[in-house]
Structure 1
Amino acid sequence: MSDRQKIVDTITAHLQSVLSGAGDGAIAEDRDLRDFPDFDSLGILETLVWLESTFEVTIPDEELVVDRFDSVGKMADYVLGKAA
């Protein structure tokens, strides 16, 4: 299993635990998370804080753009980009 896949799996598991209606199979890597009512401004903020603490990355204010974090795949790519 690749590092990217581990990150995707970790993010997916977290989102399944915090988003209602996001049970097994509901979150595909490229699915727009804004489809879930819980992924509102507060849900996005909580997810970004979780990403920072879990993967030990810092997301600068100028990079806080929803379009960068609206899918599991984009989050995983962001984390990988920060780790490089």
Structure 2
Amino acid sequence: MADRQYIVESVQQRLREVVPDLREETLDADKDLREFAGFDSLGVLEILVWLESEFSLVIPDEELNIDNFSSVGKMADYVVDHR
């Protein structure tokens, strides 16, 4: 099982690949990603598909709420809680 810090770093790296606006940003775990124009519906979808693949998750439709995935920390917490 991956520890939370590894998950945070993995998510940060993937976000920088998916959302060009984030390449030069310091991605604190609690930073609300909705502040970045590049973190749009397509960016959210891409990161969710990656989370499922990378961490062997299935995110049920009823949990597909942007509030659950609006920051790196929330994504990491979701992965930790659902593995």
* Shared fold (TM-score, shorter chain, > 0.5): yes
Aligned partner of 2:4 in structure 1 is: 4
Matches within 5 A, 1:1-84: 3-83=3-83
Range that drifts further, 59-68 or 34-43 = 34-43
Q: Distance in 1 between matches of 2:26 and 2:20?
A: 10
Structure 2 unpaired stretches of 5+:
none
> Which one scores higher on RCO, CA 8 angstroms, separation ≥ 6?
2
**SS of match in other structure, 1:78:** helix
Distance, in Å, in 2 between the alignment partners of 1:38 and 1:24 is 13
Q: Which runs of 4+ in 1 moved over 6 A?
A: none
Unaligned runs of 5+ in 1: none
Measured on the aligned residues, the alpha-carbon RMSD in Å equals 1.4
Report the TM-score when normalising by structure 1. 0.90
How many residues are paired up?
Answer: 82
Q: Which residue identity lines up with residue 42 of structure 1 in the other structure?
A: L
